[in-house]
Amino acid sequence: MSESQKTAASQDVKMEVEKNRNRAALRRTFLGRVIRSVVVAFWVMVIAFSLIRLSPGDPVRMALGADVTEEAVEEFRTQLGLDKGVLTQFWDYFSGILRGDLGYSYFSGRDVTEIVGTHLPVTLMIIGLSIGFAAIISIPLALYVAMSKSNTVNYLFRALTSISLAVPGFFLALMGLLVFGVYFNIAPAAGYEGAFPANLKYLWLPALANCGSLVPVLARVLHSSIVDTLDEEFVETGVIRGVRKGKFYWSYLLRPSLAPTVVLLSYMVGVMIGGTVIMETIFSLPGIGRELITAVDGRDYPVVQSIAMIFGLIVVFFSFVGDLTGYLLDRRVTLS
Amino acid sequence: MSTPNKPLIQIKDVVIGIPHKRRPTLIIVNNANFDINYGEMVGIVGESGSGKTMICRTMIGTLERRGGKILSGDVVFEGQSLATASESDWKKLRGKSIGYVPQSALAGPNPVLTIEAQLAEALRNTGDTKDIKARSKELLDLVKIRRVDTVMKQYPYQLSGGMRQRVMIACALATSPKLLIADEPTTGLDVTVQSQIMDLLKEIRSSMGTAIVLISHDLALIDEVCDRVVVMHAGATVEVGSVKDLEKPRHPYTIALNSSRIDIAEPGSELVTIKGSAPSVGEWNPGCRFADRCSIVQSDCRIGDHPALIGGSGTHQTACIHTELLERI
C-alpha cells in the first residue's frame, strides 16, 4: 500500500467513525430529550400540585355550593380523597398518571383525559396557526429588509418592530375584533365549530393576534442573521455561480440564517401557550386554556395539575422539534 | 504590451470609486493598467488596501454588490466591455468563461449544502445537465480529492481547509473557464497545503490552458508559480513585468517588497520592512503615491497625477519617473 493510499484509507476510516459518532449522538439526543421531557413534565406537575393546594379556597365547598350540610361536605371530601394526607394524595394522583388515569373533575365529574382530548386540539391548532402566521410574516419581512439598502426601510423596520413588541396581545386581539369582526365583519366575534376546515374561520383571528408579539422578535433575530450571512464569502460565491433566484434565497440566505430563529421560535412556544389562554378567553374558544382558568377558579385540582403537566410536555416537545429542525437546516448546529 | 495574440482580458486605466450620497465619491483604485493573455498565470501583488481585490471584483462583476463602481476606463474580456456589462451579461460570463476561487477556504463553500449539491450547481451553469454526478466526480478527481464518493455526501464543515479549497477550485473549473481568478486562495491554510494548492493551480493551467490570476501579498509565492507579475500600490499599478523582469525591479516599491521577503532574508538579521504604511484611500497626495515612503524621492515626484506606466524593455513597465536613480537603493 502506498503512502497516499494509506492516508486515504485512514481518512476513510475517520469519516466512517465520524458518521457513526453523529448517528450515536442523534440517538443519544433523542433519548435524552424523551427523558428530559418526562422529568420536566413531572416537576411541572409537582409544582402545579403544590401551588393549587397552597392557594386559599376549598374545592369541596366550591363544588357543592353554599346550601349543603357539614355531613355532605365531609362525605364528598372523603369521596374525592381530599381527607387524606398530602403525600397520599400525591401518590394517588401520580400512580393514576402512570396507569394513564388523570382523575376526574371535582365539578363536572368528567374524566380529565376526556377534557384534555376535547379541548387540547383547539389550543394546539391556535399555536400551530400562530407559528404558521409568524413564519409567513416574519421570514419575507426579514429577508426584504435585510436585502434592502434603503435607510428608510431599515428605520421603519426597527421602529415598527419596537412598537409592536410593546403592544400587548389582548389589545391586539380586541383591536382585531373591532376591525375584522365588527367593522369589516369578516371574522366571527365569538363561537366555534368543531370540524377541521370549518373551525379555521373562528381560529385565524386569534392566531393572528397571538403571533403579534412573536413576529417582531423573530423578524429581528432573522434579520440580523441574514445581514451576517450576506457578508459571508459563500454568498458571493453563490452570486458568481449564478444560482437561480429562488434557490439563492433559500440555500444561500435563509437556510444558513434560519437555525437561531427556529430554535428561538420553539422556545417561545411557552410564551405562546400563555397568549393562547388569553385568546381563548377573549374569543370564547373551547380550548384547554379556558378550561384551565375555570379549573383554577374552582380549585379543580386534578384538572389544573393535568393541564399544567401537559403544557410542560408541549413546551419540551416543541423545543426538541426546534433543535432538530435547526440541525436539519444547518448541520453546523450541534445537538446538545 | 506587445504580445502576438490579443490579450484575454485588458484592464485599461480603470478608476474604481465608492459613490456616496452626501460625501464625494471615494476613489479606491486609480491608474490600474495591465493585460492578461490566454493561458497565462499572472500574479497581482500588493499590500492590504492596494486595490488588488477591487480589481479582481471588476473581473468577476461583484463590484457593485459591494457598493463600488467603475468610474472610468474599461475592463475588456475577449472584446467585450465588462465595465458596462449588465447583470444578464454577467450571468453569461460568471461561472462560465470566468471562474472564481474565493479568498477564504473555510468560508468559501456554502455550509448548508453537500459538496455534491454545490458541484451540481456549478455544473448546471454549463447548460448541460446530463451525468451531473459522474461529471462531479471527475471534477473532484481533477483537483486530486481522494475517496470521492464519501466527500460528495459530506458538508463543508466535515472537510479540512485544503479540501474545501480544492472543492472550490473544482466548482470554479466546472465550466472549463478561460480565466480563473484566485483571490488569495491560500489564506488561512498551512504551508504544505498552500504549496499543494499552488501545484494544483499550476497543473490546471498547463493541462486545461486556463489563464489564472493569482492575487496575493506574498511575492515569493507569486515568483514561484506565475509567469508575470502586476505590482499594485495604493490603488495604482506601479510595475508590470515577467517574473524574470522583476528580478531587476524598476520601481522602488517593488525593490522594497523584494528586500522585505522573509524567504531571502539572512538568518539572524533583522527583517527589512517598508518605511511607513500605504496611504489610506482618500488621503492620497498629488504626484506619486509612494513618494512619502520612497528613499529616492525627488521634488518632481510630488507634482501632478500619479505617474502612468511607462514601457521600458519590452513587456517590463514601471510607474517610476526616476528609474535612473534606482541604483542608489
pLDDT in tens, B154-172: 999 889 888 999 999 999 9
Higher pLDDT, B103 or B311: B103
Query: What are the residues whose beta carbons fall under 8 Å from the beta carbon of A137, sequence distance 6 or more?
Result: A211, A215, A219
Q: What is the pLDDT of residue A119?
A: 92
**Where exactly are the structural domains of chain B?**
9-97+175-328
| pLDDT of B3 strictly over 70 | no
Q: What is the pLDDT of residue B117?
A: 93
Q: Which three cell numbers stand for residue A143?
A: 429577508
Please give the radius of gyration of chain B, using alpha carbons only, rounded to the nearest integer: 20
Are A308 and A44 in contact by the 8 Å Cβ rule? The answer is yes
Query: What are the residues whose beta carbons fall under 8 Å from the beta carbon of A298, sequence distance 6 or more?
Result: A59, A62, A63, A106, A107
CA distances from B295 to A147, B280, B301 (A): 48, 20, 12
Q: What is the pLDDT of residue A11?
A: 60
End-to-end CA distance of chain A: 40
b or e along A265-290 (b: 16 or more beta carbons within 10 Å of the residue's beta carbon)? bbebbbebbebbbbbbbbbebbbbbb
Strand partners, B233: B236
For the residues of A201-249, what is the DSSP string, one character each? HHHHHHHHHHGGGHHHHHHHHHHHHHHHHHTSHHHHHHHHHT--HHHII
A15 contact residues in B (CB cutoff 8 A): 147, 150, 154, 158
B171 contact residues in A (CB cutoff 8 A): 237, 241
Q: What is the pLDDT of residue A213?
A: 85
Chain mean position to CA A160:
25
Instruction: Convert the pLDDT of each residue in A11-48 to its tens digit.
Output: 666 666 777 777 787 788 788 888 888 888 889 889 98
Residue A289: closest CA among A303, A277, A300, A301: A277
Q: What whole-number distance in Å separates Cα of residue B34 and Cα of residue B10?
A: 6
User: Mean pLDDT across the stretch B128-148?
Assistant: 89
Q: How confident is the model at residue B41 (pLDDT cuts 50, 70, 90)?
A: very high
Measured in angstroms, the CA of B121 and the nearest CA of chain A are apart by 7
Q: What is the pLDDT of residue B31?
A: 78
B127 contact residues in A (CB cutoff 8 A): none
Is A242 near chain B, with CB under 8 Å?
yes
Among A231, A234, A249, pick the best mutation site for testing chain B contact (most B Cβ within 10 A).
A234
Q: What is the pLDDT of residue A199?
A: 81
Q: What is the pLDDT of residue B130?
A: 85
Q: How confident is the model at residue A72 (pLDDT cuts 50, 70, 90)?
A: confident
Answer whether A239 sits within 8 Å of B100, measured CB to CB. no
Look over chain A and give the mean of its residue pLDDT values, rounded to a whole number.
Answer: 87
Q: Is B61 left (phi over 0), alpha (psi -120 to 50) or beta?
A: left
Query: What are the residues whose beta carbons fall under 8 Å from the beta carbon of B73, sequence distance 6 or more?
Result: B11, B12, B13, B14, B15, B32, B83
Q: What is the pLDDT of residue A136?
A: 95
CA distances from A246 to A222, A249, A251, A330, B61 (A): 18, 5, 8, 18, 21
Q: Indicate the SS3 state at residue B251.
A: coil
Residue identified by cell 511607462 is: B310
Give percent of chain B with pLDDT exceeding 90. 23
Instruction: Tell me which residue in B60, B113, B146 faces A8 most closely, judged by beta carbons.
Output: B146
Are B32 and B12 in contact by the 8 Å Cβ rule? The answer is no
Measured in angstroms, the CA of A269 and the nearest CA of chain B are apart by 26
Least confident of B141-145, B253-257, B268-272: B268-272
Ordered structural domains, chain A, with CATH:
60-95 (no CATH), 112-329 (1.10.3720.10)
| pLDDT of A198 strictly over 70 | yes
The amino acid occupying position A268 is M
Is A256 near chain B, with CB under 8 Å?
yes
Higher pLDDT, A242 or B13: B13
Give percent of chain B with pLDDT exceeding 70. 96
The amino acid occupying position A209 is A
Query: What are the residues whose beta carbons fall under 8 Å from the beta carbon of A133, sequence distance 6 or more?
Result: A207, A208, A211, A215
Question: How many Cα atoms sit within 13 Å of B304 on the Cβ side?
Answer: 7
Q: What is the pLDDT of residue A152?
A: 93
**Numbers of helices and strands, H then E, in chain B:** 9, 12
Burial classification of residue B207, based on how many CB atoms lie within 10 Å of its CB (0-12 exposed, 13-18 middle, 19 or more buried): exposed
Q: What is the pLDDT of residue A1?
A: 45
Are A135 and A207 in contact by the 8 Å Cβ rule? The answer is no
What strands lie across the sheet with B69-77, from one edge to the other? B26-36, B9-18, B69-77, B80-81
| pLDDT of B4 strictly over 70 | no
Answer whether B171 sits within 8 Å of A241, measured CB to CB. yes
CB pairs below 8 Å between A and B: how many? 76
Q: What whole-number distance in Å separates Cα of residue B13 and Cα of residue B229?
A: 17
| pLDDT of A7 strictly over 60 | no
Least confident of A210-219, A320-329, B35-44: A320-329
Residue A213: closest CA among A97, A152, A133: A133
Residue B102 DSSP one-character state: -
Query: What are the residues whose beta carbons fall under 8 Å from the beta carbon of B323, sequence distance 6 or more?
Result: B250, B251, B312
User: Mean pLDDT across the stretch B100-117?
Assistant: 87
Q: What is the pLDDT of residue B193?
A: 86
Instruction: Convert the pLDDT of each residue in B61-106 to its tens digit.
Output: 888 887 888 888 899 998 888 888 888 888 888 767 888 888 877 7
Q: Which residue blocks in chain A are alpha helix, DSSP H?
A: 3-54, 59-64, 70-80, 86-98, 112-147, 151-166, 169-176, 196-210, 214-230, 233-241, 245-247, 255-267, 269-282, 288-297, 301-329
Is A334 near chain B, with CB under 8 Å?
no
Q: How confident is the model at residue B1 (pLDDT cuts 50, 70, 90)?
A: very low
Fold observed for domain B9-97+175-328? Rossmann fold (3.40.50)
User: Mean pLDDT across the stretch A104-108?
Assistant: 87
| pLDDT of A71 strictly over 80 | yes
Give percent of chain A with pLDDT exceeding 90. 35
Least confident of A240-244, A311-315, B35-39, B250-254: A240-244
Query: What are the residues whose beta carbons fall under 8 Å from the beta carbon of A211, sequence distance 6 or more?
Result: A130, A131, A133, A134, A137, A272
Q: What is the pLDDT of residue A280?
A: 92
User: Mean pLDDT across the stretch A269-283?
Assistant: 90
Residue identified by cell 493561458 is: B39
Measured in angstroms, the CA of B222 and the nearest CA of chain A are apart by 23
Instruction: Convert the pLDDT of each residue in A109-164 to its tens digit.
Output: 899 999 999 999 999 999 999 999 999 999 999 999 999 988 999 999 999 999 98
Q: Which residue blocks in chain B are alpha helix, DSSP H?
A: 52-60, 87-93, 115-124, 132-142, 148-152, 161-173, 191-208, 219-225, 252-259
Q: What whole-number distance in Å separates Cα of residue A71 and Cα of residue A126?
A: 45
User: Mean pLDDT across the stretch A303-332?
Assistant: 88
Is B21 near chain A, with CB under 8 Å?
no
Q: Indicate the SS3 state at residue B29.
A: strand
Q: Indicate the SS3 state at residue B240.
A: strand
Q: What whole-number distance in Å separates Cα of residue A156 and Cα of residue A162?
A: 10
Answer whether B102 sits within 8 Å of A236, measured CB to CB. yes
Q: Which three cell numbers stand for residue A174?
A: 380586541
Residue A182 DSSP one-character state: I
